[in-house]
């Protein structure tokens, strides 16, 4: 049974969903998501003998959303996970992240291997720190219309996304899933003079893995919170590059798992393949699981396969030695 409570964590109030007992697993969601994105994993991992905690991350859902965009750096979000361990009276945790939660999990493992001896990332690969800031690299690669750049100016994306919250979430959740049409333009590139949602396909009907009640849960939360908290994560990508200079060239040496769908636009094309190659060199103990035909919301689209892959990894001898 999943229980909910609010904890004081790193100077903010954080809402968590919690289930089970045993070794601690922290599940970090992404954008635009909530703890609810892990609903299938909470029950599966708890049933397998783990204590599972899925927070609403900083700026999302029922967790506090600081007004200042500077409060959403990678040091703040990793700091939240360190402080969450303390609030849970735990010495260490397996950390798993999806979408924006993945770089938080990867970075937590890199910065604090003593606290996070096992790591898994879903959809977004670990990207070692580059020689130049990320937004500059996108522009130099001819991708000035990338959605990261579109999200930089406060108020622009908020106005678009909050004009009709339900339509926004239906399009975002469906439009980068494995059920969206194959023959479509890249949804991560924003047409000049238009909006982020213009290339994100709207569903005629919801896919089998996504119910109206699921949509209603996300819509209710985002009508209360708006989208700014999550967007502020994107507004720190260059600042994160500056703040992580001390870890330039650092490797993640823990047992690690990466799971992604073959139809996820995050890893599509040469740029995505390059990111996967860099991840493998920086995470030497990495296992990779690719789910054919799955899209970006992988733990919701393919819960049984994701749960099986995560549990197989957690039951492996190398993981059992350190948890």
pLDDT at 271: 78
Residue range 39-68: average pLDDT? Answer: 98
Residue range 186-207: average pLDDT? Answer: 93
pLDDT digits (tens, 9 = 90+) for 271-301: 788 889 999 999 999 999 999 999 999 999 9
CATH number at residue 18: 3.40.50.1820
Q: Give percent of the chain with pLDDT exceeding 70.
A: 100
Average pLDDT, the chain: 96
- Full residue range of the structural domain in which residue 310 is found: 3-320
Residue 270 has pLDDT above 80, yes or no: no
Domain count, the chain: 1
Catalytic residue among 15, 64, 98, 296: 296
The residue among 17, 111, 100 whose CA lies nearest residue 55 is 17
pLDDT digits (tens, 9 = 90+) for 176-194: 999 999 877 888 999 889 9
Query: 3-class DSSP state for residue 118?
Result: strand
Whole-number Å distance between alpha carbons of 13 and 115: 21
**What is the chain's length?**
323
Q: Where are the alpha helices (DSSP H) in the chain?
A: 39-47, 74-87, 101-111, 134-140, 147-150, 156-162, 165-175, 212-225, 228-234, 237-243, 269-282, 298-301, 303-314, 317-320
Catalytic residue among 56, 99, 179, 264: 99
CB 232 within 8 A of CB 263: no
Clarify whether 70 is annotated catalytic: no
Clarify whether 296 is annotated catalytic: yes
């Amino acid at each position: 049974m999943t229980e909910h409570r609010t904890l004081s964590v790193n100077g903010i109030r954080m809402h968590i969903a919690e289930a089970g007992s045993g070794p601690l697993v922290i599940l970090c969601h992404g954008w635009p998501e909530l703890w609810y994105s892990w609903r299938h994993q909470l029950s599966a991992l708890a049933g397998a003998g783990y204590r599972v905690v899925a927070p609403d991350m900083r700026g999302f859902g029922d967790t506090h959303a600081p007004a200042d965009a500077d409060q959403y750096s990678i040091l703040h979000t990793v700091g939240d996970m360190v402080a969450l361990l303390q609030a849970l009276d735990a010495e260490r945790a397996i950390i798993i992240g999806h979408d924006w939660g993945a770089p938080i999990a990867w970075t937590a493992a890199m910065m604090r291997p003593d606290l996070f001896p096992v790591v898994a990332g879903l959809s977004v690969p670990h990207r070692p720190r580059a020689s130049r800031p990320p937004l500059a690299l996108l522009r130099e690669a001819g991708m000035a219309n990338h959605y990261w750049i579109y999200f930089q100016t406060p108020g622009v994306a908020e106005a678009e996304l909050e004009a009709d919250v339900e339509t926004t979430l239906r399009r975002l959740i469906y439009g980068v899933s494995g059920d969206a049409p194959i023959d479509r333009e890249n949804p991560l590139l924003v047409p000049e003079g238009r909006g982020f949602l213009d290339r994100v396909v709207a569903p005629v009907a919801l896919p089998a893995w996504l119910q109206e009640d699921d949509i209603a849960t996300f819509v209710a939360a985002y009508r209360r919170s708006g989208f700014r908290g999550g967007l502020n994560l994107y507004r720190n990508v260059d600042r994160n590059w500056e703040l992580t200079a001390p870890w330039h060239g650092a490797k993640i040496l823990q047992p690690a798992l990466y799971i992604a769908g073959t139809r996820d636009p995050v890893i599509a094309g040469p740029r995505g393949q390059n990111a996967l190659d860099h991840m493998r060199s920086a995470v030497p103990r990495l296992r990779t699981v690719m789910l054919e035909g799955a899209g970006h919301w992988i733990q919701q689209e393919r819960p049984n396969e994701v749960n099986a892959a995560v549990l197989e990894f957690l039951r492996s001898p190398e993981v059992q030695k350190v948890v």
